[in-house]
Structure 1
Amino acid sequence: MMFDAPLGDEAAGGNFFQQLPVILWQRRWFIIVPTIIGIVGAAAAILLVPPVYRSNAIMLVESPQLPKEVLGTDSADLIDRRIAAIRQQITARPDLIQLIERHGLYASERKSTPLSDVIADMRSAITLTPSETSASAGGGAANRTIAFELAFEYSQPLQTQAVTQELMDRVLQLDARGNAEQATNTVQFLTDQSAGLETQISALQLQIGEINARNGSVLSGGGMIMGGSGGSYDVQIAALQRDNQLLLQQRSLAQTSDQRDPIVAAAEQRLAGARSVYAETHPDVVMAKQALAEAKRLAKDNSAKIPVNTLDEQIAFNNSQIAALRSAKAGETAQVNSQLAARARAPLVQQQLGELQQRLTAVNAQYEQVQNQLMSAKAGVRAEDEQMSERLSVVEPPVIPDQPSWPNRLLLGAIGIGGGIGLGFLLALAVELILRPIRDPSALKAILGSPPLGIIPMIEPVRIQPRGWKRFLSFRGTR
């Protein structure tokens, strides 16, 4: 007797794992057929997938032979960016087109695919990646790349190696040229910057010198303003003026001395007395007139002998002294006024000088820094010329690959067989869960509510194997 009825969830879960070998044996064709299909698919993939060869070159970043204190640069953090720039240059469209034309790459693809797609495929086939890193000194967070791998993948081994070799030569050329150009441009830039700073320093020094020259007396220490000698000048001028007045009086007296002579005065008195007594024709009056005339003549002769020229010379000398004293007084007054005006401008001048000095100090510090950088840049140019700076070198040149990198036949075979077996197990279990045949007496108890009265063993008859597609759906129940 064979039972074939739906199972409850509790009965199905109770003996499922115990019946698993029987289930798998009964559903063996659900496992065998997917396994065969997986094997056939793996074989087809192994035979039909075109091989891809990979040729690679290992390039090492050689450390500079001079310390960074001499070169003045620490390029540990610039290597990755430099390699990235080189990768962009070697994968540029013109370079890739030249490589395609030179080596006859992608001949079949170019017949049916646009050139831009072919270039994109070739660009993706070129890789320039770091292959080794080392931690930077001092436990910093950044890592320094010390080696790079350049690789190219293509379907033909000879062309793969040739393209990789040409790409490697191009990378080395770009690295060397880039280092030399960068060092030369750095020296030129720093030289121009140094010349500009020298011009600024000269201009600032010239301005400071001009300000010091215009305001030297005030900026030298701000001494006392000497302005008390104006009174002495006035006293000297007044004394000279008094002397001139006396000399003028003496000169006037000298010019009229013949009229003020005492002998002449006495003769005039005698003449007047005689006239008061006698007539003009009287002999006494006549004699008095003669005596007066003689006295005047004698007085005139004496006044002519007085040195009037000496008095004039003294008066002229005194006048020249007075003019000199007045000029000195005016000069001193102008100097005092100039000193007062300069002292009034002193705070503004000192502030201007302070600002110029600060600018000069800042420019000098910048100039010193640029000079140090310029010396380091020149050392870098010399080190680059003598090949003592950091550069790329080839550790492993590209070789002709003897085995394709893809497909991996063992991996494809394992995937095909493993995938077919796994899919067969899943199909077998899925059919078992969908049909749910009764395979245990406990399933009857779960369905009917009471256990069966007995179990009759089933004698296995000679069974005719179904043919065609029916055998995939065959199963045996329990009798």
Structure 2
Amino acid sequence: MNPYPNPGPLASLAQQGEDEGGSSSFLQVLPVILWEKRWWIIAPGVLGLVGGVVAAFTIPTMFESSATVLIESQQLPLDVVNSPVTDVIGQRIARARERVLSRQDLIRLIRTNNLYAEEQRHQALSAIVDKMRDATSVEAIGSDITGAPGGAAGRTIALKIGFSYADPVKAQIVAQQYVNRFLEVDASSQTDQAVGAANFLNQQGSQIQAQISAIESQITKIKSENGPLLALQSQATGNPAADAGRIDAEIIGLQGENARLAAQSGGDGNSAVQAAEMALANARARYSDTHPDVIAAQNQLDAARRSATATSGASSPMINANNAQISSLRAAKAMILSQSGEVRAAQARGPALAAEVDALEKRADSLRDQYRDIGSKAQSAQLSARMQTEQKGERLTLADPPVVPDAPYKPNRPLLIAGGLVGGLGLGAAIVLLLELILRPIRGTEMLREAAGAAPLVIIPDFSRKPNMIIRWLERRNRKRART
């Protein structure tokens, strides 16, 4: 059965246009199709409009309060102090976000602010925590300045922290608590990292210093037990007389250095003490012991004596070391001159001992280099820890605090209503076009010729209906085309 039993004047007009144009076009009959099935389009449009209105006024209203947190660089330039804690800002944000949105913190916020009171009656606490986590947003704001020094373009310069809730006042309160917790967590994390790095480097330096001390003690022990052999190894050339002469010359040089050190420590100190004693005697001859000049002269004498004692104490280790080396050289000279079998056997161990001492000294030098490097890093880490403690390093600061929102951000009622209307009209038009493609009603002489297998004898237009606006427009168009 044909779903269009009475094509009416629109169909007749379409057939007339087809005969005059010579071809059947879907676009020509599209206005006819839409007009004939207008209620198929209007009904879904009305339903979509009603659905959009219902959705716009039944979806829960949500308010969002957000704050902007600025990432400030450290106050001191990088060439003055460069922190060993090279933590990427993205990692810092992710770490702080995980701590702020942890289950314990969210439960504390829910109970403190009495959030999701209705959901707490019939939902599990885990589901409420997940819902609150979904309602929280932490977004990075990048720099859009192109050509900035140091590759600043695209770098994260700020954060946007927001919270969505049905009550605007509670949304603002929770957003502020989020910001406070975020700043606290980031500051404590950076401080802990800087202090931990400084402590670790100090421990590493102490361990290396202990290794250096152990190696130096081992070298000192070897030299003290085998001093003559090592001295003999360094002085022996195969000519005993020449070797003995060189040893004597070195002994004389060390003795001269000892005499110079003794004279320096004793001469300058003694002269200063003598001058202070003379000044004190002159003051006492003129004044009583309680006079300020006598007291000042006594203080100068005490200071001169302390200085002389310190100078003598500083020179004593060097004199002792020279004396030990003189003893080793004398023993080496005796071994060279004796040339006994026992001496030659002991002399044979000299190269091995010298090689062992050389290896230990190289290892100690390598450890000293490491110690200097770690010491420099430890000093930088201590400065960085101090900067973090005094809030002078890279930190987060509140730039725009959260406020109570004055309008909801969800739902967007005009968009829902307009979307429902447009969607309903589109659905109706799609249904009409789908029926047109499936049923394929006869429209025009070409379709009738294809269906009947022969051309129609005559076309009888139907004037039983009053022409409407579309028909009048089509008639005017056909008349214009007929004139041309």
Q: Which TM-score tier does this pair reach, normalised by the shorter chain?
A: 0.5 to 0.7
1:38 to 24, 38, 48: 48
| Offset from partner CA, 1:458-479 (integer Å, 9 cap, x none) | 222489xxxxxxxxxxxxxxxx
Post-superposition offset of 1:332: 7.4
In structure 1, the residue matched to 2:408 is 404
Instruction: Work out the CA distance in 1 between the residues paired with 2:171 and 2:441.
Output: 60
* Pairs within 5 Å for 1:30-429: 30-73=40-83, 77-133=87-143, 144-213=155-224, 214=226, 215-224=229-238, 226=240, 336-429=340-433
Return the letter of the residue paired with 1:192. Q
Post-superposition offset of 1:129: 2.0
Instruction: Work out the CA distance in 1 between the residues paired with 2:405 and 2:383.
Output: 43
| Offset from partner CA, 1:269-308 (integer Å, 9 cap, x none) | xxxxxxxxxxxxxxxxxxxxxxxxxxxxxxxxxxxxxxxx
Aligned partners of 1:59 and 1:392 also within 8 Å: yes
Post-superposition offset of 1:119: 0.8
Please say which of residues 414-423 and 142-151 is displaced more in the overlay.
142-151
Q: In the superposition, relative to structure 1, how do residues 144 and 354 fare at CA in structure 2: closer, same or farther (>3 Å)?
A: farther
| Offset from partner CA, 1:179-203 (integer Å, 9 cap, x none) | 2222222222222222221111111
Q: Normalising by the residue count of structure 1, what TM-score does the alignment of the two structures yield?
A: 0.67
Instruction: Work out the CA distance in 2 between the residues paired with 1:185 and 1:77.
Output: 14
In structure 2, the residue matched to 1:17 is 27
Post-superposition offset of 1:414: 2.4
Return the letter of the residue paired with 2:115. L
Post-superposition offset of 1:387: 2.6
Instruction: Work out the CA distance in 1 between the residues paired with 2:465 and 2:88.
Output: 83
Return the letter of the residue paired with 2:234. S
Post-superposition offset of 1:100: 0.7
Q: In the superposition, relative to structure 1, how do residues 63 and 75 fare at CA in structure 2: closer, same or farther (>3 Å)?
A: farther
Instruction: Work out the CA distance in 2 between the residues paired with 1:374 and 1:63.
Output: 22
In structure 1, the residue matched to 2:290 is none
In structure 2, the residue matched to 1:449 is 453
Instruction: Work out the CA distance in 2 between the residues paired with 1:406 and 1:344.
Output: 94
Return the letter of the residue paired with 1:33. A
Which has the higher Rg, Structure 1 or Structure 2?
A: 1
Instruction: Work out the CA distance in 1 between the residues paired with 2:336 and 2:344.
Output: 12
User: What 5-or-longer segments of structure 2 have no aligned partner?
Assistant: 9-22, 242-333, 468-484
Post-superposition offset of 1:140: 6.4
Q: Which secondary structure does the structure 2 equivalent of 1:220 belong to? A: helix
Root mean square deviation of aligned Cα: 3.1
In structure 2, the residue matched to 1:280 is none
| Offset from partner CA, 1:348-376 (integer Å, 9 cap, x none) | 33443343233223211211111111111
Return the letter of the residue paired with 1:167. Y
Q: In the superposition, relative to structure 1, how do residues 136 and 106 fare at CA in structure 2: closer, same or farther (>3 Å)?
A: farther
Aligned partners of 2:230 and 2:353 also within 8 Å: no
Q: Normalising by the residue count of structure 2, what TM-score does the alignment of the two structures yield?
A: 0.67
Instruction: Work out the CA distance in 2 between the residues paired with 1:398 and 1:331.
Output: 90
Post-superposition offset of 1:448: 3.0
Aligned partners of 1:57 and 1:168 also within 8 Å: yes
Identity %: 38
Q: In the superposition, relative to structure 1, how do residues 331 and 56 fare at CA in structure 2: closer, same or farther (>3 Å)?
A: closer
Q: In the superposition, relative to structure 1, how do residues 140 and 338 fare at CA in structure 2: closer, same or farther (>3 Å)?
A: farther
Return the letter of the residue paired with 1:367. Y
Return the letter of the residue paired with 2:460. I
User: What 5-or-longer segments of structure 1 have no aligned partner?
Assistant: 5-12, 228-329, 464-479
Aligned partners of 1:90 and 1:171 also within 8 Å: yes
Instruction: Work out the CA distance in 1 between the residues paired with 2:119 and 2:351.
Output: 84
Instruction: Work out the CA distance in 2 between the residues paired with 1:376 and 1:198.
Output: 19
| Offset from partner CA, 1:63-89 (integer Å, 9 cap, x none) | 111122333227675222112111111
Post-superposition offset of 1:345: 3.1
Matched, 1:459 2:463: yes
Instruction: Work out the CA distance in 2 between the residues paired with 1:421 and 1:222.
Output: 112
Q: In the superposition, relative to structure 1, how do residues 2 and 189 fare at CA in structure 2: closer, same or farther (>3 Å)?
A: closer
Return the letter of the residue paired with 1:131. I
Aligned partners of 1:184 and 1:381 also within 8 Å: yes
Q: Which secondary structure does the structure 2 equivalent of 1:70 belong to? A: coil
Post-superposition offset of 1:143: 5.4
